[in-house]
Protein backbone atom coordinates (compact mmCIF):
# COMPACT_ATOMS: atom_id res chain seq x y z
CA UNK A 1 0.00 0.00 0.00
CA UNK A 2 1.27 3.44 -0.91
CA UNK A 3 0.57 5.55 2.18
CA UNK A 4 0.12 8.91 0.42
CA UNK A 5 -3.45 10.17 0.95
CA UNK A 6 -4.52 6.94 2.70
CA UNK A 7 -6.52 7.22 5.94
CA UNK A 8 -5.06 5.53 9.02
CA UNK A 9 -6.71 5.46 12.46
CA UNK A 10 -4.44 5.19 15.52
CA UNK A 11 -5.67 4.58 19.07
CA UNK A 12 -3.63 5.89 22.00
CA UNK A 13 -2.28 8.58 19.67
CA UNK A 14 -1.92 11.23 22.38
CA UNK A 15 1.58 10.24 23.52
CA UNK A 16 4.33 7.65 23.34
CA UNK A 17 4.42 5.09 20.53
CA UNK A 18 1.03 6.14 19.11
CA UNK A 19 2.11 9.76 18.77
CA UNK A 20 5.34 8.76 17.03
CA UNK A 21 3.43 6.43 14.67
CA UNK A 22 1.18 9.36 13.71
CA UNK A 23 4.15 11.65 13.00
CA UNK A 24 5.99 9.00 10.96
CA UNK A 25 2.89 8.17 8.88
CA UNK A 26 2.17 11.88 8.35
CA UNK A 27 5.70 12.15 6.92
CA UNK A 28 4.65 9.53 4.34
CA UNK A 29 1.61 11.64 3.41
CA UNK A 30 -1.06 9.60 5.22
CA UNK A 31 -4.13 11.33 6.62
CA UNK A 32 -4.85 10.46 10.23
CA UNK A 33 -7.79 9.73 12.52
CA UNK A 34 -6.35 10.09 16.01
CA UNK A 35 -8.10 8.43 18.95
CA UNK A 36 -7.30 8.74 22.65
CA UNK A 37 -9.09 9.00 26.00
CA UNK A 38 -7.01 12.12 26.86
CA UNK A 39 -7.76 15.20 24.79
CA UNK A 40 -4.66 17.29 25.53
CA UNK A 41 -2.07 14.95 23.96
CA UNK A 42 -4.44 14.18 21.12
CA UNK A 43 -4.66 17.84 20.11
CA UNK A 44 -0.85 18.15 20.27
CA UNK A 45 -0.45 15.15 17.94
CA UNK A 46 -3.14 16.53 15.61
CA UNK A 47 -1.45 19.92 15.35
CA UNK A 48 2.01 18.41 14.74
CA UNK A 49 0.61 16.21 11.93
CA UNK A 50 -1.28 19.11 10.36
CA UNK A 51 1.97 21.13 10.27
CA UNK A 52 3.31 18.36 8.03
CA UNK A 53 0.58 19.13 5.49
CA UNK A 54 -1.77 16.16 6.00
CA UNK A 55 -5.36 15.99 7.24
CA UNK A 56 -5.44 14.95 10.90
CA UNK A 57 -8.57 14.82 13.07
CA UNK A 58 -9.00 13.98 16.75
CA UNK A 59 -11.64 11.67 18.24
CA UNK A 60 -11.75 11.53 22.02
CA UNK A 61 -12.95 8.08 23.08
CA UNK A 62 -12.39 5.42 25.69
CA UNK A 63 -11.66 2.27 23.67
CA UNK A 64 -13.37 0.10 26.30
CA UNK A 65 -16.68 1.93 25.85
CA UNK A 66 -18.70 0.39 23.00
CA UNK A 67 -20.90 3.43 22.48
CA UNK A 68 -17.93 5.81 22.29
CA UNK A 69 -16.03 3.54 19.89
CA UNK A 70 -19.06 3.13 17.60
CA UNK A 71 -19.55 6.90 17.62
CA UNK A 72 -15.86 7.63 16.88
CA UNK A 73 -15.71 5.27 13.87
CA UNK A 74 -19.10 6.55 12.63
CA UNK A 75 -17.58 10.04 12.68
CA UNK A 76 -14.38 8.83 10.96
CA UNK A 77 -16.55 7.29 8.22
CA UNK A 78 -18.47 10.58 7.82
CA UNK A 79 -15.28 12.69 7.81
CA UNK A 80 -13.03 10.63 5.51
CA UNK A 81 -15.42 8.29 3.62
CA UNK A 82 -12.75 5.57 3.65
CA UNK A 83 -10.36 3.84 6.07
CA UNK A 84 -7.18 2.06 5.03
CA UNK A 85 -5.63 1.18 8.35
CA UNK A 86 -6.20 0.85 12.09
CA UNK A 87 -3.41 0.65 14.64
CA UNK A 88 -4.78 -0.76 17.90
CA UNK A 89 -2.11 0.87 20.04
CA UNK A 90 -3.98 2.14 23.15
CA UNK A 91 -2.86 0.01 26.06
CA UNK A 92 -2.14 0.00 29.77
CA UNK A 93 0.10 -1.93 32.14
CA UNK A 94 -0.69 -2.62 35.83
CA UNK A 95 1.94 -5.06 37.02
CA UNK A 96 1.83 -7.25 40.10
CA UNK A 97 2.53 -10.82 41.15
CA UNK A 98 -0.31 -13.35 41.06
CA UNK A 99 0.29 -13.93 44.78
CA UNK A 100 3.09 -12.85 47.08
CA UNK A 101 4.06 -13.90 50.59
CA UNK A 102 6.46 -11.68 52.49
CA UNK A 103 7.09 -11.62 56.24
CA UNK A 104 3.97 -13.72 56.80
CA UNK A 105 1.77 -11.33 54.80
CA UNK A 106 -0.09 -12.59 51.74
CA UNK A 107 -1.03 -10.26 48.89
CA UNK A 108 -2.39 -10.92 45.39
CA UNK A 109 -3.33 -9.34 42.08
CA UNK A 110 -6.91 -8.10 42.41
CA UNK A 111 -9.61 -9.04 39.93
CA UNK A 112 -9.96 -5.34 39.10
CA UNK A 113 -6.20 -5.09 38.35
CA UNK A 114 -6.46 -8.11 36.05
CA UNK A 115 -9.66 -7.11 34.28
CA UNK A 116 -8.77 -3.42 33.76
CA UNK A 117 -5.74 -4.41 31.62
CA UNK A 118 -7.74 -6.99 29.65
CA UNK A 119 -10.50 -4.41 29.10
CA UNK A 120 -8.24 -1.77 27.51
CA UNK A 121 -5.78 -4.04 25.71
CA UNK A 122 -8.12 -6.78 24.48
CA UNK A 123 -11.72 -5.50 24.56
CA UNK A 124 -10.54 -2.12 23.24
CA UNK A 125 -8.70 -3.78 20.33
CA UNK A 126 -11.72 -5.99 19.59
CA UNK A 127 -14.16 -3.06 19.55
CA UNK A 128 -11.94 -0.82 17.41
CA UNK A 129 -11.02 -3.72 15.10
CA UNK A 130 -14.69 -4.54 14.61
CA UNK A 131 -15.79 -0.96 13.95
CA UNK A 132 -12.81 -0.20 11.68
CA UNK A 133 -13.55 -3.35 9.64
CA UNK A 134 -17.17 -2.24 9.22
CA UNK A 135 -16.03 1.12 7.82
CA UNK A 136 -13.53 -0.63 5.50
CA UNK A 137 -16.24 -2.96 4.12
CA UNK A 138 -18.88 -0.24 3.85
CA UNK A 139 -16.56 2.13 1.98
CA UNK A 140 -14.90 -0.66 -0.03
CA UNK A 141 -11.48 0.35 1.31
CA UNK A 142 -8.57 -2.04 1.19
CA UNK A 143 -6.99 -1.89 4.62
CA UNK A 144 -4.72 -3.26 7.33
CA UNK A 145 -5.56 -3.93 10.98
CA UNK A 146 -2.50 -3.79 13.25
CA UNK A 147 -2.59 -4.95 16.86
CA UNK A 148 0.21 -3.91 19.18
CA UNK A 149 1.28 -7.00 21.08
CA UNK A 150 4.52 -7.23 23.12
CA UNK A 151 7.52 -9.43 23.80
CA UNK A 152 5.69 -10.03 27.11
CA UNK A 153 3.13 -12.20 25.28
CA UNK A 154 5.49 -15.12 25.94
CA UNK A 155 4.84 -14.69 29.69
CA UNK A 156 6.67 -12.20 31.91
CA UNK A 157 6.94 -12.26 35.68
CA UNK A 158 4.53 -9.79 37.32
CA UNK A 159 2.38 -9.53 34.22
CA UNK A 160 -0.41 -12.16 34.40
CA UNK A 161 -2.77 -9.48 33.09
CA UNK A 162 -0.50 -7.78 30.53
CA UNK A 163 1.06 -10.98 29.13
CA UNK A 164 -2.39 -12.58 28.72
CA UNK A 165 -3.66 -9.46 26.95
CA UNK A 166 -0.72 -9.27 24.54
CA UNK A 167 -0.99 -12.99 23.67
CA UNK A 168 -4.69 -12.43 23.01
CA UNK A 169 -4.22 -9.54 20.57
CA UNK A 170 -1.52 -11.48 18.68
CA UNK A 171 -4.00 -14.36 18.27
CA UNK A 172 -6.76 -11.98 17.14
CA UNK A 173 -4.51 -10.69 14.33
CA UNK A 174 -4.23 -14.24 12.98
CA UNK A 175 -8.01 -14.71 13.20
CA UNK A 176 -8.67 -11.42 11.42
CA UNK A 177 -6.14 -12.22 8.66
CA UNK A 178 -7.99 -15.49 7.99
CA UNK A 179 -11.48 -13.98 8.19
CA UNK A 180 -10.91 -10.75 6.29
CA UNK A 181 -8.40 -11.67 3.57
CA UNK A 182 -11.34 -12.24 1.20
CA UNK A 183 -12.21 -8.53 1.49
CA UNK A 184 -8.67 -7.33 0.77
CA UNK A 185 -8.02 -6.62 4.44
CA UNK A 186 -4.72 -7.72 6.02
CA UNK A 187 -4.03 -8.07 9.71
CA UNK A 188 -0.67 -7.97 11.46
CA UNK A 189 0.55 -7.92 15.06
CA UNK A 190 3.67 -6.06 16.09
CA UNK A 191 5.43 -7.18 19.25
CA UNK A 192 7.84 -4.53 20.56
CA UNK A 193 10.43 -5.19 23.23
CA UNK A 194 11.09 -2.54 25.87
CA UNK A 195 10.86 0.95 24.37
CA UNK A 196 11.36 4.20 26.24
CA UNK A 197 7.94 5.83 26.84
CA UNK A 198 5.84 7.00 29.81
CA UNK A 199 4.63 3.38 30.14
CA UNK A 200 8.10 1.94 30.66
CA UNK A 201 9.11 4.86 32.89
CA UNK A 202 6.83 3.10 35.46
CA UNK A 203 9.19 0.09 35.62
CA UNK A 204 11.23 0.04 38.85
CA UNK A 205 15.04 0.52 38.36
CA UNK A 206 15.89 -3.02 39.52
CA UNK A 207 13.33 -4.58 37.16
CA UNK A 208 14.60 -2.37 34.31
CA UNK A 209 18.17 -3.53 34.96
CA UNK A 210 16.97 -7.15 34.76
CA UNK A 211 15.10 -6.44 31.51
CA UNK A 212 18.06 -4.66 29.90
CA UNK A 213 20.34 -7.60 30.73
CA UNK A 214 18.04 -9.70 28.52
CA UNK A 215 18.41 -7.47 25.43
CA UNK A 216 21.28 -8.50 23.10
CA UNK A 217 21.57 -4.99 21.63
CA UNK A 218 21.94 -3.72 25.22
CA UNK A 219 19.55 -0.77 25.10
CA UNK A 220 15.90 0.25 25.08
CA UNK A 221 14.15 0.58 21.75
CA UNK A 222 13.17 3.95 20.33
CA UNK A 223 9.63 4.93 19.36
CA UNK A 224 10.87 5.73 15.82
CA UNK A 225 12.03 2.11 15.43
CA UNK A 226 8.53 0.81 16.23
CA UNK A 227 6.94 3.39 13.91
CA UNK A 228 9.24 2.25 11.08
CA UNK A 229 7.94 -1.32 11.57
CA UNK A 230 4.34 -0.05 11.41
CA UNK A 231 5.14 1.67 8.12
CA UNK A 232 6.69 -1.56 6.79
CA UNK A 233 3.62 -3.62 7.79
CA UNK A 234 1.25 -1.14 6.15
CA UNK A 235 3.24 -0.85 2.93
CA UNK A 236 4.09 -4.53 2.33
CA UNK A 237 1.00 -6.21 0.84
CA UNK A 238 2.40 -9.73 1.34
CA UNK A 239 2.42 -9.54 5.16
CA UNK A 240 -0.64 -10.85 6.96
CA UNK A 241 -1.49 -13.11 9.89
CA UNK A 242 1.99 -12.78 11.41
CA UNK A 243 3.59 -11.27 14.48
CA UNK A 244 6.53 -8.98 13.70
CA UNK A 245 9.01 -8.96 16.57
CA UNK A 246 10.96 -5.72 17.06
CA UNK A 247 12.75 -6.17 20.34
CA UNK A 248 16.54 -5.96 20.01
CA UNK A 249 16.65 -9.77 20.21
CA UNK A 250 15.10 -9.92 23.68
CA UNK A 251 13.53 -13.22 24.78
CA UNK A 252 11.41 -13.64 27.90
Ligand X SMILES: NC(=O)c1ccc[n+]([C@@H]2O[C@H](COP(=O)([O-])OP(=O)(O)OC[C@H]3O[C@@H](n4cnc5c(N)ncnc54)[C@H](O)[C@@H]3O)[C@@H](O)[C@H]2O)c1
- Residues of the shown chain interacting with ligand X in the complex, contacts defined by CB under 6 A: 11-12, 14-18, 36-38, 41, 62-64, 89-92, 120, 124, 148, 150, 192, 194-195, 197-200
Q: Which of 83, 162, 227, 248 is catalytic?
A: 162
Alpha-carbon separation of residue 7 from 56, 81, 91 (angstroms): 9, 9, 22
Nearer to ligand X, 141 or 150 (CB): 150
Q: At what angle do helices 223-235 and 16-27 cross, to 10 degrees?
A: 50
Alpha-helix runs per DSSP H in 104-235: 111-118, 124-138, 160-180, 198-201, 205-212, 223-235
Which of 213, 161, 215, 175 has its CA nearest to residue 192? 215
Alpha helices (runs of H) in the chain, residue ranges in sequence order = 16-27, 39-51, 66-80, 111-118, 124-138, 160-180, 198-201, 205-212, 223-235
CB of 192 to ligand X, least distance (A): 4
Is 183 known to be catalytic? Answer: no
Give CA–CA dist 117/166, Å, rounded. Answer: 10
Phi, psi of 223 (to 5 degrees): -55, -35
Report in angstroms how near the CB of residue 143 gets to ligand X at its nearest: 20
Nearer to ligand X, 111 or 198 (CB): 198
Query: Of the two residues 139 and 156, which places its CB atom closer to ligand X in the complex?
Result: 156
Residue with smaller CB distance to ligand X, 30 or 35 = 35
Q: For strands 99-102 and 105-108, give the pairing.
A: antiparallel
CB of 42 to ligand X, least distance (A): 8
Q: Nearest distance from residue 49's CB to ligand X, in Å? A: 15
Distance between CA 71 and CA 20 in Å, rounded? 25
Q: What is the nearest approach in angstroms of ligand X to the Cβ of residue 166? A: 7
Which of 55/199 has CB closer to ligand X?
199
Active-site positions read 162
Amino acid sequence: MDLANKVIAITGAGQGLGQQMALSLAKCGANLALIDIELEGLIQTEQQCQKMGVIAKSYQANVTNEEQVVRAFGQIDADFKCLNGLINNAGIMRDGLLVKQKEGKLSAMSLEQFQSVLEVNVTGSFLCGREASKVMLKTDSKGVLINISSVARAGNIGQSNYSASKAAVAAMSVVWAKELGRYGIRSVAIAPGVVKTAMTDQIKPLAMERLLSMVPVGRLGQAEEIAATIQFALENDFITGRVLEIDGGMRM
